[in-house]
Amino acid sequence: MRFLALKRGADEWVCEYIVGKINAFAPSAERPFVLGLPTGGTPLAVYQRLIEAYRQGRVSFKYVVTINMDEYLGLGAEHPQSYRYFMQENFFKWVDILPENTHIPDGLAEDVEAEAKRYEQLIADLGGVQLFFGGVGSDGHVAFNEAGSSLGSRTRVKTLTRQTLADNARFFDSMEEVPKYALTVGIETIMQAREVLILAKGLAKALAVEQAVEGAVNALWPITRFQCHERFILVCDEAAAGELKFKTLRYFASTEGQINPQLREDLLCYSED
C-alpha cells in the first residue's frame, strides 16, 4: 500500500500520475490503455486538470478505453443526473477520446443481470483494467459497494443506503429524487485491476481514510479490501487525514519523502529521522 497525505496538490498529484501511466504505456489502437473512472464531486478537479494536460499536448486519450464504475438504474444517457451525462459534460467531450471507447453500465437495461455479466465480460475482453481511479464515500464505500458488501463481489445491482442517498442528494432537487438502485462494479472487479488509486478529500472522508490505513480488512468498510492489493495507492488532503495517528502520518510521509523528495514540503508530518 502507498499512502500520500498532502497539505496541497492532491488533485494535481493524481492527474500527473494518470498522465504518466498513460504515456509510459504508450497505447495504440491494438493495445489501448484501459482506465477505470469514477463520478461525483471528488474527481471533478482531477478531470479539469486532465483536460488541461490534453490541451497542453502532454497526453492523448485517443487510445484510452474507459470503464466507469457505476450508473443509476432508471436513468438514461440523456438524463442530466445520469453518470453517462456527467462524464460527457465533465470530461469526455473536452478530450480526444473516441466515443466508442467510453463504457458505462446501461441504467435502462431491461435485464440488469445480463447487463452486469456483459460488463464483466467487456472488462475481460479488454484484457483487464490497467488503472482503476476512484473516490470513497464517507462510510467507506467504493463505487456503490456499500458497507456490508461482499468483498468478493462482481458487477451487480445494489440498493443504496440512506447515507449514500443523502451524500448524492446535492445533485438532485431533493433526496426523494435520488435513484434507490444502481448498477456497480464489484470490489473484486476493482481488485482485478493492475493498480487501484483512491482519492479522498474533505473532513467527511476522514473516518474512511482512517479505516483504509489503520483498520483491519472489514466488509463494513469496503475500502479496507484494497489493503490486500499489491499496487494500491490512497491519496488524501489534509482534512481527510484528520483522524489518523501522528505516528502513521510520520511513517508514510517519511517513506514517501524518500521516494519523492520534491514532495516533502507538501507531505504531512515529514521527518528526516
Q: Annotated catalytic sites, by residue? A: 70, 139, 141, 146
User: Which three-class secondary structure string do you get for 230-264?
Assistant: CCEEEEEECHHHCCCCHHHHHHHHHHHHHHCHHHH
Q: How far apart are the C-alpha atoms of 33 and 212, rounded to whole Å?
A: 27
Q: How far apart are the C-alpha atoms of 95 and 127, rounded to whole Å?
A: 24
Q: Buried b / exposed e across 8-41, counting CB within 10 Å, b at 16+?
A: eebbebbbbbbbebbeebebeeeebbbbbbbbbe
Q: How far apart are the C-alpha atoms of 146 and 223, rounded to whole Å?
A: 10
Query: Closest by alpha carbon to 103, among 130, 70, 137?
Result: 70
Q: Specify whether the CB–CB gap between 43 and 11 falls below 8 A.
A: no
Give the amino acid at 64.
V
CA–CA–CA angle 68, 201, 271 (5° rounding): 125
Query: Closest by alpha carbon to 43, among 191, 200, 240?
Result: 200
